[in-house]
Every structure is written in C-alpha cells, then in structure tokens.
Amino acid sequence: MYTSISAFKYITPFILYVLSLLAFQGEGLICYAPLMYTFFAVPLLELFIKASPANLDEVEESLAKQNKLYDFILYAAVIMQYYSLWIFLNSLQAPALSTATIAGRVISMGLLCGAFGINVAHELGHRVNKMEQTFAKMLLLTSLYMHFFIEHNKGHHKHVATASDPSTAKYNQSLYAFWPQTLIGTYKSAWKIANEELSKKGHAWFSLKNEMLLFQIIQLLLLVGIFSLFGLSTTLLFMVAALMGGLLLESVNYIEHYGLTRNETGDHQFERVQPHHSWNSNHIIGRLMLFELSRHSDHHYLASRKYQILRSYDNAPQMPTGYPGMILLSLVPPLWFKVMNNQMKKYNLKG
C-alpha cells in the first residue's frame, strides 16, 4: 500500500552526495569513494538483486503523483548541488594537495555533475512549471550543459531512434565514436532549434531573446566568476568535472537508445515513439540512484510522466543490468556488442 514514506526511498541518491562531500574534505583513497560506490558497489549489488518490473496501481499512482514530497526532494537537490560546487572549488585551494587527491575530487564532482546537475535537471526540465524549468537550467549550469534544456526537449524527444537524432547510437557504433557525434551534434542542434524559433517570430538570432545565446553568456559569466575567485587552475579543473558530467549523460544516452530505430511512415515522418524504442532497466538500485531514469521506455512514451510514477512495459527491451553496470560494459566495445547485439536478437529488434 502506498504511503508518503514511499517517497523517502529517493533519498538514496544522496549517498553519492555524502560520499562526494567526504571526498572534498579528505585526502587519498576517500576521494575515490564516490567512484567506487557508483561503478563497483552498485553494479556488484545489481548482479545479485533481482530487477522489479512491478508498477503502482491506479490508486497508488494517483497518490504518488499528488505528493509534493517527491518534488521537494528534487528542489533540495538544486540547493545541495550548488553547495557541493562551492565546497569543491574551495577544496582545491588547500595547499600541497597530491595529484591523486585532486583527481579524486574532480572525479567526484564530475559524478555529481552527471547524477545531480544533469539528471535532476532532466526531470525538472520536462515540467511545465516555470520555476521548475528555472531550477533545471540552474542545475545544467553547474555542468556547463545548458544547451541540453533546448535540444533534449525539442530535438531528442522528437527525433529519437532516427538518423536525425545525434543522441541515438547506431547499431555497432562504439561509445567512443558516439561521444563526438552527440557532443557536437546536440550542441549544433540546440543552436538550430533556438535560431529557427526566433526566425518564426521575426527576430534576429543575435538577441537576448535567443535562449541559446543567453545560455552561452551565463556559462561564460560563471567561468569568469570562478576564475576571479579561485584562479585559472581551479577553473580548468571545474571544466574537466563539467565535461565528465556531460560524458556521463551522453554515455547514458548511448545505453538507452543503442541500435534502436523507428519505422519511417512517409517523407521524413516516423511512427510514434513507443516503449520498445528505448532500452529499459528495472534494476532497483540504479532506478533509485537516478530518480527512475532507467525506466526510460515509459519516459519517452510519455515524457510528461513524473519520475515516481514511471511504468515498466512488457514489450520494452530490457538491459541485462542497471545503468552503472551498463556504462562499464559500454567502455569495452567488443563485450558491449556481444551482449547488446544478442539482446537485440532476443527482442527481434533490427539494427
């Protein structure tokens, strides 16, 4: 039976947050605790914990949808992300830090940029409430990935599983080949979308009404502010952490849509996005860790559905493990192709 206590299971993502704060304040091995938790402890546990395809019933879904606690957890993540960024930047000012300690702290911040900066922004960015959309943009700023707000909502969801989508990996395309495709392609796509919207309204692209241009100015001002307060080396290390966040996001895009395609129904027209056009994962720890992002089939089928009520579909192709384990697998292309190409055959999917 659903109760408000059910919302507290989504506090588990903050385990990564607490470990990252410890990394920013410690030295040596503790700085790698977030990395070990995300890509060792979680994948290991998910090998032994059975995936759960269970969905909420109609009454439970209605109660969960109306429960504001789920939203407040996301709002808290916005404040906490900025606090962690401040602690991270200050932590790099400590004298005589070892290279290993600095690297561990940068990796920890990079994980936060991906898991909190972009992932929570992804959820809030789909909301129609202007305050929540502003929160999404604020989170994306901490990863220097504000163009995601435009391209993801107006590009990726429209073109997913087609050749027009830079965020969809082709069959037999490696993660390393996919990264430049999506990093460059989504950025260019965001500019194109923003410019076309302004053109339809009779405005020139070089205007503060151009949200993409405004995003570049805001991100530049953040970098100037960090440089002024903390110096060049800290600014560059922050940029590395932000890049890590972006690469994590795009690695997730890779595993979510690898090899999947929609049928063309006409000239540049495609069938409606269905659950089988995204890879799904019902592995519980990964689901909670990323606010149900891994129930991606339902997210693309109905993007307005809030994270706490996302469903599992019988016809959605399933990943063999959770997101952290799948990202590790994607880093070794021969193993990835062996596993995932077999999964495609299992679900009768064409590459």
Which residues make Cβ contacts (< 8 Å) with residue 239, sequence separation at least 6?
A: 144, 223
Would you say residue 29 has pLDDT above 80? yes
Confidence band for 350, pLDDT divided at 50, 70 and 90: confident
Q: Identify the DSSP state of 209.
A: T
Q: How far is it, in rounded angstroms, from Cα 119 to Cα 290?
A: 7
Helices (H), the chain: 14-25, 33-36, 42-46, 58-66, 69-91, 99-112, 119-125, 130-141, 147-151, 157-159, 175-200, 211-230, 232-257, 284-289, 296-301, 323-330, 333-346
Supply the pLDDT for residue 259: 96
Q: Is the dihedral of CA 18, 20, 26, 28 positive or negative?
A: positive
Q: Is the pLDDT of residue 5 over 70?
A: no
Task: Inform me whether the pLDDT recorded for 272 exceeds 70.
Answer: yes
Domain count across the chain: 1
Distances (CA, A) of 285 to 35, 45, 245: 16, 8, 20
Residue 80, C-beta contacts closer than 8 angstroms, at least 6 positions apart: 14, 17, 116
Q: Residue 314: inside a domain, yes or no?
A: yes
Q: What is the pLDDT of residue 131?
A: 97
Residue 181 Cα to chain centre, angstroms: 17
* Separation between Cα atoms, residue 265 and residue 248, nearest integer Å: 33
Report helix, strand or coil for 269.
Answer: strand
Calculate what percentage of the chain has a pLDDT beyond 70: 98
74 located within any domain: yes
User: Is the pLDDT confidence value at 1 over 80?
Assistant: no
The whole-number pLDDT of residue 59 equals: 92
- Residue carrying the six token digits 């995601």: 148
**Looking at the domain assignment, is residue 190 inside a domain?**
yes
Give strand pairing partners of 266: 269
Q: Is the pLDDT of residue 300 over 80?
A: yes
Indicate whether 144 pLDDT > 70.
yes
What ranges make up the beta strands (E) of the chain? Answer: 264-266, 269-270
Query: Out of 8-12, 101-105, 255-259, which region has the weakest mean confidence (pLDDT)?
Result: 8-12
**What's the pTM value of the predicted model, to 2 decimals?**
0.95
Q: Are 162 and 270 in contact (CB under 8 A)?
A: yes
Q: How far apart are CA 225 and CA 227, in angstroms?
A: 5
Residues 188, 302: Cα–Cα separation, whole Å: 26
Helices (H) and strands (E) in the chain, counts: 17, 2
| 88, 109 Cβ separation under 8 angstroms | yes
Is position 351 within any domain? no
DSSP letter at 29? G
**Which pLDDT band, with edges at 50, 70 and 90, does 348 fall under?**
confident
Per-residue pLDDT at 52 exceeds 60: yes
* pLDDT tens-digit map of 230-257: 999 999 999 999 999 999 999 999 999 9
288 close to 49: Cβ distance less than 8 angstroms: no
Q: Does the pLDDT of residue 115 top 60, yes or no?
A: yes
Residue range(s) defining the domain that contains residue 87: 4-346
Structure tokens at 234: 């800290």
Q: Which of 147, 162, 188, 111 is nearest to 278 (CA)?
A: 162
- Mean pLDDT for the stretch of residues 98-122: 97
Residue 250 has a CB neighbour count (10 Å cut-off) of 24
Smallest CA-to-CA distance from 37 within 139, 142, 145, 112 is with 112
Question: Is there a domain that residue 317 lies in?
Answer: yes
Q: Does a structural domain hold residue 337?
A: yes
Rg from Cα positions in the chain: 20
pLDDT bin (cut points 50, 70, 90) of residue 2 is low
